[in-house]
Every structure is written in C-alpha cells, then in structure tokens.
Homo-oligomer: A and B are copies of this chain.
Amino acid sequence: MKKIINQPDQVVDDMLNGLAYAYDTIVSRVPGTTVIVRNLESDNRVGLISGGGSGHEPSHAGFVGKGMLSAAVAGQVFTSPTPDQILEGIKAADEGKGVFMIVKNYTGDVMNFDMAKELAELEDIDVDFVVVDDDIAVEDSTFTAGRRGVAGTVFMHKILGAAADAGASLQDIKTLAEKVNNSVYSIGLALSPATNPEVGKPGFELEENEIEFGIGIHGEPGYSRETLKPSKELAEEFVRKLKKEIGWTSGDRFAVLVNGMGATPLMEQFVFMNDLKTLLAGDEKLDLVFKKVGDYMTAIDMAGVSLTLLKIEDDAWIDHLNSPVEVIGW
C-alpha cells in the first residue's frame, strides 16, 4: 500500500482535521465528533445532513456549505458512522425546523441513521430522511439489500440543499427527495480496485486488461467482467443499461453526471463525456439540461467512472442544480 498517510487508523481523523483547516472559511469540525458543519448563522431553515463511510471524498463534507448540506457525518473508511455521531450531526444542523437526512442504501447506513433518528426524537428534534438507491447495477430488493446509493446522491445533495436554504419545510423536502430518488439512475465501472488504508490491500483484483461493469463505490461486485474496451464502447454499455431501465423517449430532459472514482484523471472523464454526448444528445436525442464532470463520489483510489442520469420532472430542479453554492467540492 502506497499512500500519503500516517497511522492507518487515524486517517479519518487526520483527514477531517486537514479538511476543516484548509476550508475554515466554509466549514468547521464539531469538536470531539466526526461532524463537519457549515459556518452559517442559524436562520430557521430545515437542517440537511448526509454522511456515511469515509473514502468517498469530496463526499460528503465537501458538499457542506451555503446552498447545500448543513453538516456531514463521517464514519471509518467504508463503514457507516454510528448513531451517536449522526446525532451530533443532527444537532449541529438543527435550526428548529427539523432535520432531513440523506442516507445511501446500505444496510449499515440505513440502520445507523435510523437509530440516530430515534435518538434525536428523544431530544424533540423532528427528523426525516430519504434512502437514495440509484445504482441500477443491482438486482431488485427481493434478492438483495436493494439498490445501492451511489453518485446520484450528489444531485440529491444539491437539489435538496437549494430547496432547504430557500426555506422549504421538512415535509416539502421529504416529498422532493422521494421524487428525485425515483428519477435518478446510476451505473459505474472499475478499471482497478480501491485500497482501504485500514485494510492495506486492494479490495478485489482485476487482470491487467480487465474491467468490471456495475461495481459499487466500496468495490462491491458488479454484473460482468470484460476486457478493456475503447471509451465509446464503455459508454454504449452504460447507455444501453440505462435506457432499458429508464425507457426514455427523445426530447426527455436529463441532468447528467460523469463521476470519477478517485484515480481516473479528468482527461479520461472528458473523453468519456465526449462519447456520451454522441450517444445521448446525438443518437438518443435527449435534452441534457445540466452536465457535470469530475470526482464527486469516489471510492478512495479506485480507477473508473460512473454515469448518473436524473430525469427532470420539475423545472425547479434545474434551478436548484444551477443555484450558487459555497462548498468545497461542487
């Protein structure tokens, strides 16, 4: 393992301190917790928090700030944070109007956030949540723990963040979150595995010329291993899968996110976007009303990309995606 770290079990602590220091104009670390909270005066908004295991940087602390999240809670690398920490996040975000939690659909995350909700309610804080499950690579939940929450979560952060800071109520945000979750679809692939610093070796193995389609952001298995193909063919596979799932017709409006997995340079992400342009805007005649390319929901140092499509069901979503923010990573 070749990493710029100190003690592997201190990596989350060191990272949070480094982040909070580097961006002390935007965020602070709540002392004694793994919570990163924004430096904004309380103003009777609904608090909006997210979080999960570490290793997905800039998620989630990178989206804390004006116009997006109120706070983010970090767990150990690839491990859900515990309810007491999430409760600290809820408290840090609470401005008296309730707190909404954006949770990714992993058994651990769902249970820990759920317990935190119970704890918060004991302290008379209204808490509601959405469980994001955008990863179409996974079979339905009769056979699995359900679709995983992946890069689509970033669109959720942005849209709910804009709504919350514009004064939406907890109930409004819940309704909006469910709609967005029903309209967001993602799929990823890996060229090489991630190494969790606490584990010290790669989470899986791929041959020199092998890639895996459908991989999760913790290196969960995908649906097929194949030899590396040109970018254009990788894009075709993604579009084929997404089309089958979404069943769009030409003219449909989407927001699109090409997301790097951590070790894939922007050069490749832009090449990939160029191939998607031909397929989605060209062949499929979709109307891509919002686009973004970069590292947003990573898997430490995994090489690969994911594609997220959000079907625009409401014009306000476009405004929410475009509204200005003051955060580290958007």
Residues of A within 8 A of B (CB): 2-7, 11, 14-19, 21-24, 54-55, 57-58, 62, 191-192, 197, 208-209, 211, 228, 230-232, 234, 258, 262-275, 277, 281, 291-293, 295, 298, 300-301, 303, 305
Per CB-CB distance, the 4 closest pairs between chain A and chain B, nearest first, are: A18-B274, A18-B270, A18-B273, A57-B266
Contacts of A258 on B, CB cut-off 8 Å?
22
Is B293 within 8 A of A22, CB to CB?
yes
Instruction: Kindly report which residue of chain B lies nearest to residue A189, judged by CB atoms.
Output: B4
Instruction: Kindly report which residue of chain B lies nearest to residue A290, judged by CB atoms.
Output: B25
Is B265 within 8 A of A6, CB to CB?
no
Given contacts A22-B291, A263-B263, contact A268 B4 (CB under 8 A): yes
Is B273 within 8 A of A6, CB to CB?
no
Given contacts A21-B291, A262-B265, A292-B22, contact A6 B270 (CB under 8 A): no
Instruction: Kindly report which residue of chain B lies nearest to residue A57, judged by CB atoms.
Output: B266
Copy tally for this chain in the complex stands at 2
Interface centre among A22, A54, A291 (most CB of B within 10 A): A22
Is B230 within 8 A of A274, CB to CB?
no
Is A266 within 8 A of B11, CB to CB?
no
Instruction: Kindly report which residue of chain B lies nearest to residue A15, judged by CB atoms.
Output: B270
Is A3 within 8 A of B268, CB to CB?
yes
Contacts of A271 on B, CB cut-off 8 Å?
4-6, 11, 14-15, 18
Contacts of A262 on B, CB cut-off 8 Å?
265
- Shortest distance in angstroms between A313's beta carbon and chain B's nearest beta carbon? 22
- Shortest distance in angstroms between A109's beta carbon and chain B's nearest beta carbon? 19
Complex Cα gap A263–B260 (Å): 11
Is A21 within 8 A of B55, CB to CB?
no
Is A305 within 8 A of B4, CB to CB?
yes
Instruction: Kindly report which residue of chain B lies nearest to residue A304, judged by CB atoms.
Output: B4
Complex Cα gap A301–B267 (Å): 9
Is A4 within 8 A of B234, CB to CB?
yes
Complex Cα gap A305–B268 (Å): 20
- Shortest distance in angstroms between A201's beta carbon and chain B's nearest beta carbon? 12
Is A265 within 8 A of B301, CB to CB?
yes
- Shortest distance in angstroms between A233's beta carbon and chain B's nearest beta carbon? 9
Is A15 within 8 A of B274, CB to CB?
yes
Contacts of A209 on B, CB cut-off 8 Å?
2
